Amino acid sequence: MTDKKLIAVVGATGQQGGGLARAILDDPEQRFALRALTRNPDSEAARALAARGAEVVSADLDDEASLTKALEGAYGAYLVTAFWEYNSVEREHQQARAMAGAAKATRLAHVIWSTLPDTRLHLPVDDDRVPTLHGRYKVPHFDGKAEAEAFFVEAGVPATFLSTTFYFESFVDFFRPVRDDDGVLALHLPMADRRLPGIAAEDIGRTAFGIFTRGPELVGETISISGENLTGEEYAAAFAKELGTDVGYRPMSVEDVRGLPVPGADDLANMFVYYAEHESVFAGARDPEAVRKLNPRLQDFATWLSAHRDAFKGL
């Protein structure tokens, strides 16, 4: 048996939860023990965590009884949803309620809820410039998480709200620099000249670890994070320096995003409207130097890009 505080991590084999799982396991002081909650304990990633000493437990976010069993005996938990797997605020809320209920039933001392701001505070539902989605949301994958914060408050669960942002990894998967028809290597973002806060996915988990080490003093707080707040021109300049070639910045329109043949394109388009039109609110709430106090290893974009240079070979 161990007397270390046990942290249960939802999505421990994913991006956010995986970052926290590794931070717990890599901690030189070994302050916490890890219970990895996953849908598939037999996956390669789950087995790798088990090999490093984690307790791996199967949990179903749609089943409160399953979650209650998985959280039993834990000190705290990192709770996150996978909205883009199902693209439904209703289901995300069902899962958040189940997590809040399980956290209350098991009397967890500290929970972190991975969240995002409610954009309707600045993009009202009656603002016809931006379509209303899912019946009553402007940016469903933001607004639904913000609404779900109330589930933890109402249940009396001691929670810290970790407000995330655009992943640097999105430059690998969605916003890669591309050669335009004129042969110019260019970065396309729907941000005009506004700042886009970004963060390495790994650093979300590392910052959550810092919150757990600080403990109850951060209960009830919202911690808004980023690794760096850069304009499109500044992101392009970082690419140019790392890749050793010219990279231009050519802003794309929000309507270009809205027309992408991907699920949730309207949601993403509205998100970029919020990012750009309310830069002072979103970017203004995110101070990397403040985040670095919780996560001293916080990566700025150049550091992340250097570590992921191989992902951009052949551009």
Angle subtended at Cα 116 by Cα 258 and Cα 282, rounded to the nearest 5 degrees: 80
170 band by pLDDT with thresholds 50, 70 and 90: very high
Per-residue model confidence (pLDDT) at position 1: 44
The enclosing H or E element of 150 equals helix 140-154
Helix segments in 155-253, DSSP class H: 170-173, 201-214, 232-243
Per-residue model confidence (pLDDT) at position 56: 97
Helix axes 64-71, 89-105, angle to 10 degrees: 40
**pLDDT (average), residues 296-315:** 96
Per-residue model confidence (pLDDT) at position 3: 81
pLDDT in tens, 215-235: 999 999 999 999 999 999 999
Place of tokens 């956010």: 16
**pLDDT (average), residues 247-254:** 97
Burial of 69 (0-12, 13-18, 19+ CB in 10 A): middle
Half-sphere exposure of 295 (CA within 13 A, CB side): 29
How many CB atoms are located within 10 Å of the residue 214 CB?
A: 16
pLDDT in tens, 134-143: 989 999 999 9
